[in-house]
Structure 1
Amino acid sequence: MKVRIFDTTLRDGEQTVGVSLSPDQKLSIAKKLDQLGVDAIEAGFPVISEGESKAVKMITSEGLSCEIAGLTRTIKGDIDAAVDAGLNYIHTFIATSDIHLQYKLQMTREQALEKAIEAVEYGKSRGLQVEFSAEDATRTDRDFLKQVFGDVAKAGADRIDIPDTVGYSTPEYIAEITKDAITATQLPVSVHCHNDFGLAVANALSGIHVGAACAHVTINGIGERAGNASLEELSMALQCLPQDQKYETNIKSELIYDTSRYISKIVGIKVQPNKAIVGDNAFGHESGIHTHGVLNNPLTYEPISPELVGRTRQLRIGKHAGIHGMNAMLEEFGVQTTDDQSKQILEKIKVLGDQGQQITDVELLSIASDVLGEKGIKKIVQLSAFSVSTGIGIMPYAFVKLNIDGEDFIGTDYGVGPVDAALNAIQKITGKVSELKITDYRLASISGGATALCEVTITVEDPQGNSVSAKSVGEDIVTTSVKAVIDGINRIMLKNMLKEKQLN
């Protein structure tokens, strides 16, 4: 069975507190979603502002391969605004629960039903495809909900949507009302689930398992309050989890991680590390028992291959680490150790871990160098010079000169601050040389007073999704940040260079 994926990142996702997108940003996200393979994009709510209408027009004019929908209330002016924005598909809604009718709309059930029918009929008269939503469906009287769905179907609706507006449903109940909607309308039914109780994906799956044809989702599960059903979790659950009936979507799963990171950066909401599928730790292993198992057979502790969603496996080092995982990490950098040396390195790591310290790849290599008696592991990238300028009324600017494997490179760039400018300049160089990206930057203060020390932790990633972390401590934030980035770049370039030698 093919399940339709209706992405509402640009509408419900933008209703996340603190998120506001420009028309250009919306268009760039729409293109990314289209490449990902979504069947429909809810581009926005055209009537709410000129900018929103402009964004929808830009998206409808782009010639994307997926369907483009716009949200409307059951008001003729909203529907007209959707048509003016170039839409031929609307998602129109009115609340049907008694609490919404009494306290929000001040309407009777009969009045709300009349508005719903009028909107569907008007939308059809304007030549639109109409998907009708009964807002707060899961708290609506069940018999009344069936009546509403049946009557809007008779009025000409093309699709029906069941919104669990405040995430109040259970999988068992969403299954029951999904079957009601299918029986009452004989139309394709969508489920639109919110995550207030952490059940959004489970509820969406439950609706699909009993016959819903479509799920409304957002990238990274963003949305109002606790968010919406997550596209990445739902699509991979449909594809991979065992069930009686197999489900397919048009989602190109290998693009999921890249899409997640792209949209996370634009909307300014970092993905939590333990987020399923796309979180930093989703395919990360530190425990010695786990890493030993994964090294022998990844299926021991990974339900799916990370490459399936555009990711790579990450072995991490810390106090829970074991010899096998640590040695595997060292071997990625070309470091060979005896059994005794491995034990010494691991003991030092556990001591740091017991002190509550996070141990990065760079620190692992530094500890290994101390134990092995080496003066240092090869540095491919050397920082030759850098300077930053900033002040009131001018945009921060940075100059960076790097020597990469004997060749000098110069990069300059601006930023929102001196650190941002310096990192942008470095990334200009490394992006040109080896397409490396700085994917994470964290700053912490580790002492107080006028000479406070700061700790910078960064992650550098290559186009294949391989990443390396590095940490630096110092008094000056800009210098400390630059040193951390250079350390990270050195480690990932060394790792990739050794891989290329092994392949050749």
Structure 2
Amino acid sequence: MNKQKIHIVDTTLRDGSHAVSHSFTTEQAAEIAGSLDKTGVSLIELSHGDGIAGSSINYGFSTTPELELLKAAKPAVKNAKLTVLLIPGIGTIEDLKEAEECGIAAVRVATHVTEADTGIQHIQYAKSAGLMAVGFLMLSHMASPEKIVEQAKIFVDAGADYINIADSAGYMVPNDVRARISLLKSSIDIPVGFHSHNNLGCAIANSLAAVEEGATYIDATCRGLGAGAGNTQIEVLCAVLNRLGYDTGVDIYGLMDVAEKNVEPVMQRPQMINTASLMLGYAGVYSSFLLHTYRAAEKFGLNPRDILVELGRRQMVGGQEDMIVDVAYALVQQQKNK
């Protein structure tokens, strides 16, 4: 038995929100969060897919305000930490204070991989309020391992409890993960976590590579529900970790039941690697761009693959969803001028 404890972070009610067009109801939030809590996961993340205050024309409106979802979920969460994601520039400290009033215990402050400084005040506020605070570096394939260490140290100095690096585009393969996690783990004195997307079919392999290099917080979702081709599938991940002798502290049968009985019925489509989500990983494009790209492709009569390749070429990052329409329009003009 590997005695290293692996903390499982469930993001079904946050990253999974992308895949259901931010349509979770209060009943679903309470049922899924309560069922997950009974399985022994460490953190349950709940917010709009783009973090608190993400409900907007740019990122997609939530059917139910996330504060109502948090209020509904809180009584059902007895053991895990009810958690929100906050992307500076989308969410503010005032938004975080409102989430506090709903009973959250942790916040993950997510910035682009080279912009950790934009999250300093949010980490510092969270710690002053007694919350667990996590520094979350998105699109980590876009920076070298050395740059990631530099940015992580900004979060460490601000008081973060652990650093999470995210393969937000599902672009990395196991060796990419190993290089980043191993250097980060040897360079800072707080725990390291990892968040994966399955656009190239590598989510489980990448998560295992992260664990083997010392990551102790791993993100996953029921049925892999999430942006793009989805996230690391939690019930599969925990079964594999169990077989390898890692201590996750979770009830694997319970996770299977939550995925089958609570999450699968609310899915709008099977979570799969289709051509467009494969292109997200291949081009290195932020996974939450997928549905926006489909809409733009339909509106302008374009192949979504062409839009995704151009977004990747321009190195668009999370928060630039509004540029997808501009890119589509520019491609149409290029075609007319040929």
TM-score by length of 1: 0.48
Instruction: Give 1:254 shift.
Output: 2.2
Further displaced range: 218-227 or 39-48: 39-48
- State the Cα distance separating 1:17 from its structure 2 match: 4.9
Q: How does 1:57-456 map to 2 (within 5 A)?
A: 57-74=71-88, 75-96=92-113, 109=114, 112-241=115-244, 246-262=245-261, 263-270=263-270
Q: Which of residues 36, 48, 60 is equivalent to 1:33?
A: 36
Contact kept? 2:224, 2:271, Cα under 8 Å: no
Instruction: Assess if the C-alpha contact under 8 Å between 1:68 and 1:87 holds in 2.
Output: yes
Task: Report Cα offsets for 1:270-325 as digits up to 9, x if no partner.
Answer: 578xxxxxxxxxxxxxxxxxxxxxxxxxxxxxxxxxxxxxxxxxxxxxxxxxxxxx
Identity %: 27
Question: SS at 1:59's partner residue?
Answer: helix
Distance in 1 (CA, whole Å) between partners of 2:138 and 2:77 is: 31
> Which is greater in Rg?
1
Shift of 1:48: 3.6
2:67 maps to what in 1?
Answer: 53
With over 3 angstroms needed to count, the CA separation of the structure-2 counterparts of 1:260 and 1:47, relative to structure 1, is: same
1:61 maps to amino acid: P
- 1:177 to 1:10, Cα distance in 2 relative to 1, 3 A: same
Q: Residue type of the partner of 2:243?
A: C
C-alpha distance after superposition, 1:81-117 (max 9, x if no partner): 3223321310111112xxxxxxxxxxxx5xx342122
Distance 1:138 1:80 in 2: 32
Q: What is the CA–CA distance in structure 1 between the aligned matches of 2:52 and 2:74, rounded to whole Å?
A: 12
2:105 partner letter: N
Greater Cα shift, 171-180 or 2-11: 171-180
Q: How many residues align?
A: 254
Q: Distance between the aligned counterparts of 1:93 and 1:197, measured in 2?
A: 23
Bigger proportion of residues as strand: 1
Question: C-alpha separation between the residues in 1 aligned to 2:175 and 2:77?
Answer: 40
Please give the per-residue CA displacement for 1:417-442, whole angstroms capped at 9, x wherever unaligned: xxxxxxxxxxxxxxxxxxxxxxxxxx
Higher mean alpha-carbon deviation, 250-259 vs 197-206, is at 250-259
Answer with 209-218 or 121-130: which moved more.
Answer: 121-130
The answer to whether the Cα contact below 8 Å between 2:116 and 2:137 also exists between their aligned partners in 1 is no
1: CA distance between counterparts of 2:127 and 2:142? 28
**Is contact 1:138-1:168 (8 Å) kept?**
yes
**Which secondary structure does the structure 2 equivalent of 1:161 belong to?**
strand
Compared with structure 1, are the counterparts of its residues 141 and 82 closer, same or farther at alpha carbon in structure 2 (3 Å cutoff)?
Answer: farther
Q: 1:113 to 1:31 in 2, by over 3 A?
A: closer
Query: Matched residues in 1 for 2:20 and 2:26: separation?
Result: 18
CA positional deviation for 1:214: 1.3
Map Cα deviations across residues 168-190 of structure 1 (whole Å, 9 max, x no partner).
Answer: 11111211211222223211111
| Structure ranking higher on relative contact order (CA contacts 8 Å, 6+ apart) | 2
Secondary structure of residue in 2 paired with 1:61: helix
Deviations 1:394-449 (A, max 9, x none): xxxxxxxxxxxxxxxxxxxxxxxxxxxxxxxxxxxxxxxxxxxxxxxxxxxxxxxx
Q: Structure 2: which amino acid aligns with 1:91?
A: R
Q: Which structure 2 residue ranges, 5 or more long, are not aligned?
A: 56-63, 273-338
Equivalent position amino acid for 2:265 in 1: K
Q: Is the 8 A contact 1:22 1:51 kept in 2?
A: no
* Partner Cα separation in structure 2 for residue 176 and residue 259 of structure 1: 34
**Residue 228 of structure 1: SS of its match in structure 2?**
coil
**Structure 1 pair 87–17 and aligned structure 2 pair: CA distance change class (3 A):** closer
State the alpha-carbon separation in 2 of the partners of residues 248 and 113 from structure 1. 31
Q: Verify the 8 A CA contact 2:33 2:76 in the aligned structure 1.
A: no
Which AA in structure 2 matches 1:76? I
**Which deviates further from its counterpart, 195-204 or 124-133?**
124-133
Take 1:81 and 1:19, find their aligned partners in 2: how far apart are those partners? 19
TM-score for both structures, normalised by structure 2 = 0.70
Report the Cα distance in structure 2 between the residues aligned to 1:256 and 1:129, rounded to whole angstroms: 24
Question: Would the aligned equivalents of 1:117 and 1:151 in 2 still touch at CA under 8 Å?
Answer: yes
Flag as ranges the 4+ runs of structure 1 deviating above 6 A.
none
After TM superposition, give the deviation of residue 122 of structure 1 in Å: 2.1
